[in-house]
Amino acid sequence: MKKNDIIELEIVDITHEGSGVGRYEGMAIFVPGTAVGDTIKAHILKVNKNYAFAKCDEILTYSQHRIDLDCGVFARCGGCTLRHIDYKYEAALKQNRVTQTMRRIGGATMDARDIIYNECPNRYRNKALYPVAEGGEIGFYSHHSHRVVVCEDCLLHPEVFTTAGKVFTNFVKENGISVYNEQSGKGLLRHFYLREGKLTGEIMVGVVINGNKLPNAQKLIDDLKSALGERLTSVILNINTLDTNVVLGDKNVCLYGREYIYDILCGVRIRISPHSFYQVNHDMAERLYEKAAEYAIPEGKNILDLYCGAGTIGLSMAKKAKSIIGVEIVDAAIRDANINAKENGIQNARFICGDAAKAALQLKGENVSADVVILDPPRKGCEESLLNTVALDFAPERIVYVSCDVATLARDTAILEKLGYKLIEYTPCDLFPRTAHVETVALFVKGE
């Protein structure tokens, strides 16, 4: 088999990134946009020693799980990867992937509990970061590239984002504002940024620029106010003049309203700044946090919340817990967390800015005890040194691990088991419908 060969292929599995998998002459062939049960003509694009990549030239037999596409840019956009299959089957695929990964890497002996998912998989995102293309059009990067695919109305975003996006695009065209070019480093506009408070209705609009000033900014504010009305709460200018793939720069200039919006999550009023981490799916985040609380049993407990972001998980349990200590490396998130605690009248919570592993050691040096430790790390999972500190120095009754990558959760599960913590139960939670991502919350209990 070589590049540009055309082969007939049956799709029998799906990868963690959402590509279909077929087998040909003993080799795995990965084909995006296909579904288990498809038989296709596959056009080979790249051949490695044991696997190959291909594109689908023609579907010969359709999977029973395929559905009609409702998005015109699905094949080109790097956002959704599973929009071509029915959602219940998508949820079942994710549950199976979580189980198989936990068994294979983590040594789990039990299957995942039933996946928590929402029957309505659209319009759930409360945050959007749109790269700006020439002419002021906005959209999303194509898969594994920085080529912008223009998309006026993403079905994962609330309709108010579409309205705001059209206002921004018209403003850019009318004022002839330049767009940043990654190769030359010249041009002004880099990204258009939106956040929504699901229950408050508040909208934050941000413009990321390669400079210090947005020409005719008042006109943009007036146009947004006209289109969004009282929902427009914040207009932010974010300054990012660095040659970097990081979207937001460190400096924010508030052009209108306040530099933050509010939402309500699990009954707690949450302040959200431009840099704050906040789960993008409000309704499913509440269900995830409810499961985390079920595992933590917070009543009367001292809880250490590592990688706490704006404090959302810990604060959701604060009224039942004896105490909450949160740790997060992002300074702006910690400021929000402390303000969130104060504004909600929560007096048994404090938040520390710092690296999770170093802060855990610091707290142990202060003789801080923890009955429950909550771990909600980034995709790379926890450092082994942190797991050692948690298990050996704090020795909590329970560890509740919230993971956005089941592979690193499985790896850390094997480490925690060696440190004397038994995996009791784990539950997938689909915060990202129509994409290949899935969250998992796991409970570990200290052994004898």
* Active site (catalytic) residues: 404
Q: Within 136-180, where are the H helices?
A: 159-175
> How many Å apart are CA 403 and CA 16, to the nearest integer?
15
Measured from the Cβ of residue 371, the count of other Cβ atoms closer than 10 Å reads 20
Orientation angle between helical segments 217-228 and 159-175, nearest 10 degrees:
150
Rg of the chain on CA atoms, in Å: 23
DSSP for residue 185: -
- DSSP string of 294-330, one letter each residue: HHH--TT-EEEEES-TTTHHHHHHTTTSSEEEEEES-
Could you identify the residue written with the tokens 């979580």? 98
Classify residue 346 as left (phi > 0), alpha (psi -120 to 50) or beta.
beta
Please, which residues bridge with residue 43 across strands?
A: 6, 55
Candidates 272, 276, 220; CA nearest to 248 is 276
DSSP for residue 134: G
CB 317 within 8 A of CB 293: yes
List CB contacts of 366: < 8 A, sequence separation 6 or more: none
Instruction: Read off the tokens for 270.
Output: 């949450």
CB 66 within 8 A of CB 84: yes
CB 369 within 8 A of CB 399: no
CB 298 within 8 A of CB 372: yes
